[in-house]
Structure 1
Amino acid sequence: MKAKDRLGRRGEALAASYLEGAGLDLVDHNWRCALGEIDLVAIDGSTLVVIEVKTRSSLDFGHPLEGIDPAKLQRLYLLASRWAVAHELRFSEIRVDAVAVVDDGTGDPQIEYLRAVS
């Protein structure tokens, strides 16, 4: 596995642990379909929450959340709908959250959670 892939997997694991500690009920990880992948899926009451995790080893190339542009956000909402259909579930709302992880491997990672990315 490439270093970038290892960093991404570690970031997703850190994000999952953080979110579970914050009370979110995670129900799926790395769900894929022909359109793409959802990093984490949670249910928050009657809301389906898809969570995009962005991990970087430093801020040298910008903040991790800068990697979520309007096209990515639109695709995440479409992926959320596909996930719900694939699992035969209905929700009153769909929300996209994001977690930024900065982990240089030398100290405690920095984790930032953003609810309802718009």
Structure 2
Amino acid sequence: MAAPQTKIDNMDRWYLDGLAGFINAIELADKNNQLDDLKNFAEVLNWSFSKFGLAASELAEDEKISKAAISKWVNGHALPSAPTRKTVINWIKGKLQEQRDGLTATPSRMSQMN
């Protein structure tokens, strides 16, 4: 008998755990004003883009921010204003939560391959 289509395999579970942990870390850092620090803000952006597949170009398009500004933030050369930081952090959290919701609402990728 085949496994239920809603089963989340171990790889998806590990990714979901990492995603949830990263979302929690962002929320805690934001609450403690740690994202007012250039290095911390750059690190959140870098992890979002490199580990969780978000795209700087999508951030630029969605939030009407120049790609040059985002590049400066990612590379730790500049920090956006407080309102723009809040906008960016909310965009990141929203996109990560969409990923999480999508993984929990659909059959696992690995079980579809079997």
| Superposed pair shares fold, TM > 0.5 | no
Structure 1 or 2: more strand by fraction: 1
TM-score by length of 2: 0.29
Structure 1 or 2: more helix by fraction: 2
TM-score by length of 1: 0.28
